[in-house]
Amino acid sequence: MTVDDNVVVDLPNTQDNPFDNPHYLLLNIAMGGNLGGDVPPDFTFDTFEIDYVRIYQYYF
């Protein structure tokens, strides 16, 4: 998987990672928690805009 042309995840197609099964992609805007820190108390809403998602398929 790449983000802004940088490889983020690269997993081989093995028995432990069977990428020949149907999958889905979930995009969310998780806020707060250990990685994002606290959400300011005056925060009410924002937008999460995705320009495009590109899916590649490779056949062996």
CA distances to 21, 28, 29, 35, 37 from 49, in Å: 28, 10, 10, 21, 21
Residue-wise pLDDT tens digits, 5-56: 888 888 777 777 666 777 788 888 888 878 778 888 998 888 888 898 888 7
Does this model's pTM top 0.95? no
Residue matched to tokens 């590649």: 56
Confidence of residue 59 (pLDDT cuts 50, 70, 90): low
Q: What is the pLDDT of residue 36?
A: 74
Q: What is the pLDDT of residue 42?
A: 92
Q: Give the C-alpha separation, 14 to 8, whole Å.
A: 18
Residue matched to tokens 């250990």: 34
Confidence of residue 60 (pLDDT cuts 50, 70, 90): low
Domain ranges of the chain: 12-60
Q: Give the C-alpha separation, 39 to 10, whole Å.
A: 31
